[in-house]
Structure 1
Amino acid sequence: MAISPPNHIAIIGAGLSVMSPAIELHMRSIPHTIYELREPSFQTSGALMLSANVL
């Protein structure tokens, strides 16, 4: 019995380890939704960056 691929992927959390796979899913046109507990306006004292080789 063949297993069909998922119709949509839920990603829990928006940390650095999640953003790289999310970019790959986007590049492959695989539907996904990222769920994050913090509000978009949450401010941190540091910065988060993905280098060019990750993108």
Structure 2
Amino acid sequence: MHNFQPGNTQLLNILSQLTQNKLVKAYAVRYMESTRSLQVAQIRLHSCSMRQLSG
């Protein structure tokens, strides 16, 4: 999981709760957007896919 603050386990704690609370889920999404976690994951997946196709 991408995080600019490696010691910050806030998102991991939220995800481990498996919450149904929409406010908590919305907060987690905003947090991931603010740290660009989703963009970094997309770039890494694309990179791995390209390596698999060329390898």
For the aligned pair, the TM-score class normalised by the smaller chain equals: 0.3 to 0.5
Q: Determine which structure has the larger helix proportion and give its number.
A: 2
TM-score norm. by structure 2 comes to: 0.32
TM-score, L = length of structure 1: 0.32
